[in-house]
Chains A and B, each alone.
Chain A
Amino acid sequence: MLEGLLIGLQTAFSIQNLLMVVAGCLIGTFIGMLPGLGPMSIIAIMIPVAISMGDPSAALILLAGVYYGAIFGGSTSSILLNAPGVAGTVASSFDGYPMARQGKAGKALTIAAIASFAGGTLGAVLLMVFAPALSSVALLFHSAEYFALMVVGLSAIAAFAGSGQVAKAMIMTILGLIMATVGEGALFNLPRFTMGIMDLQSGFGFITLAMAMFALPEALFLVLKPKNLQGDDGEIKDLRITRAEARAIAPVIGRQSIQGFFIGVLPGAGATIASFLGYAIERNIAPKEEQEEFGKGSIKGLAAPETANNAACTGSFVPLLTLGIPGSGTTAILLGALIALNVTPGPRLMLDEPQIFWAVIMSMFIGNLVLLILNLPLIPYIAKVLSVPRNYLIPFILFFTLMGAYIGQNNATELLLLVGFGICATALKFADYPLAPLLIGFILGGMMEDNFSRSMQLYDGIAFIWERPMTLGLLVIAALLILLPSYRARRARARAAGVADGD
């Protein structure tokens, strides 16, 4: 591990990579602050830049920096305007906005920055401990287990991501898998489902799909329903916190870093669930008189979700780096970027290319430090971005989505596909279908089919399902993940209906 740390330090401390961290954090903070633009859109927009750099470590460092920056920026707009830019920072506005209304905006931002820093750093320490252990287990996996593991991942995402609507999330996952089969598969070299259209021969572009699923609908929502971006007075001062306040939030930060990290590791549960759960738990275990404070500007109520969402972001890197299976939309986009750079994340990553793995972990520490020292004094100025008029902002967002799709493929048909998919994605968003499962299904689809085919060929049929106990076990877990929530929801509904009838 020490050796790995040194490799990571060496890679992460090159001038280029340090610049990447700083640039990523700044870009992420700026854009993440704009309400309606989440980390997924920003990373999707940044991918063409990252890919054309050619160096996978630098690209991953840049994108990871953008990711933390976006989460941090999202909490800034939650606190100052009560307009969360990212779903994961909604819980921060519960107590952050009341604090800002009481004239303590500076203090709230400082607490948010410190909590984020602590959550991210402790998360990175845990990642450093758990990822190598998990990846040594993962080395025992066979392609049959990989297939089963991907099924588990996808069903977990379907079970948790759709806010209780398992069937909807399942449709989206299956649609993503179906879209992944379009084009030429690596195993057969036969064009499938292209309908004779030459442009579909190589399949749908992953960047195009990512832009169409996240950036475009969010921009269209901003057009349809303008949000008021102007704050109350914009004056942010008094950034200091007292020693007593620091002592009050220290245990909260400790607990929430660990809890947030492990929630982030689970596929499907990400920063959003971690922050809401962290807030709820801290409110329940707080003393009676402090419970009254929650929702009215409690510093603990602000520190809890801020710590948890940053720790969860770090935690979501564990399945990506060790198993090569993304647990969230954001890590799915990162996986796509890595594959485009000819790096396959998975248990072999740590053996084959340790400098990438360790450089990313090191850059997490650096990135958190950069966010703390760069953003704390600069926040009053960065918050000025919120006063960019929407009339200029939206055309630029649309232009960058178009550019991202165009640069990736250098093909104007891709732009028409982008607009078409974007309209479909907006309609799906209206009907409350979750969009992240589609993209994760699309990215995992190719790998899943490859592993499935390989195990079919090894066992000359589907016998691998029952002849390998681990595969069978994983598939049973996957089935339970899908069936249990719907069964429980059904029973709860039946009971609720019965009570209503009785009354």
Chain B
Amino acid sequence: MALDRWIALIMLGVCLAYGYAAWFTMDGSLPPFMQRNPIWPSTFPKVLSVLGIIATTIILLGFEKSEIKEADIDYRRLGEYHLGQALMLLALMVIYALCLRPVGFLISTTAFLVLGSFILGERKWHIMLPVALIATGSVWYLVQEVLGIYMRPLPGIFGG
């Protein structure tokens, strides 16, 4: 089974779960005065779940043939591309998201930019570090001073 049909299968699951919630669980908690309304919070989701199930079934049962196109990246040969780098960058993004608050903006962003270049194969530390530091500093200045959005610059223990 090709990837697009696997995705359709997952979507069908999503639509079924969504439809179950809309058809069977949502209306129970509806206050009585709202039940006399011609439209309920679940009306629109009910319609959507039915349409979604129809559309995913069309793909899943192969009613609509997809032409095999020369794609930019062939997912069947994903290992031949720089998959490791991509996964490491994604992991780095997750770590950045978790660190941004506790460690502070300046340290975590500098580390993110330096490690990002490092993962991609850059080894010129004398360029990497100044570039990251200048970029971090100027973005922080812009966000904090020009846009007026507070971002904790330093770790909490330094009173940032």
Contacts and interface: CB of A to CB of B under 8 A. Distances in A.
15 contacts: A167-B55, A168-B4, A171-B52, A177-B48, A188-B41, A192-B41, A192-B45, A398-B93, A399-B109, A419-B93, A430-B3, A430-B71, A432-B71, A456-B43, A486-B64
Contact of B82 (A48, A223, A428): A223
A187 to B, nearest CB: 8
Contacts of A460: 38
Interface of B: 2-4, 6-8, 11, 14-15, 18, 21, 26, 34, 37-39, 41-45, 48-49, 51-52, 55-56, 58-59, 63-67, 69, 71-73, 75, 78, 81-83, 85-86, 89-90, 93-94, 96-98, 100-101, 109, 112-113, 116-117, 120-122, 128, 131, 135, 139, 143, 147-150
B39 A457 contact: yes
A221 B49 CA distance: 32
Tell me if B's interface is mostly helix, strand, loop or mixed: helix
Given A416-B94, A432-B66, A457-B38, A175 B149 contact: no
Interface of A: 48-49, 52, 164-168, 170-171, 174-175, 177-178, 181, 185, 187-188, 190, 192-193, 220-221, 223-226, 389-392, 394-396, 398-399, 402-403, 406-407, 410, 412, 415-416, 418-419, 422-423, 427-428, 430-433, 449, 452-453, 456-457, 459-461, 486, 489, 493
Contacts of B98: 412, 416
Nearest to B34: A188
B48 A174 contact: yes
Contact of A181 (B7, B48, B83): B48
Nearest to A184: B41
A406 B149 CA distance: 11
B64 A167 contact: yes
Given A171-B55, A192-B41, 5 more contacts: A168-B4, A175-B52, A399-B116, A415-B97, A430-B73
A50 to B, nearest CB: 11
Contacts of A226: 82
B11 A391 contact: no
Contacts of A432: 4, 66, 69, 71
A225 B41 contact: no
Shortest 7 CB-CB contacts between residues of A and residues of B = A395-B116, A415-B97, A430-B75, A391-B122, A431-B4, A224-B81, A456-B39
B102 to A, nearest CB: 9
A167 B58 contact: yes
A419 B97 contact: yes
Contact of B4 (A48, A181, A433): A433
B71 to A, nearest CB: 7
A395 B55 contact: no
Nearest to A189: B41
B37 A457 contact: yes
Contacts of B109: 399
Contacts of A423: 90
A164 B66 CA distance: 9
Given A165-B66, A167-B58, A412 B41 contact: no
B72 A167 contact: no
Contact of B41 (A48, A178, A185, A390): A185
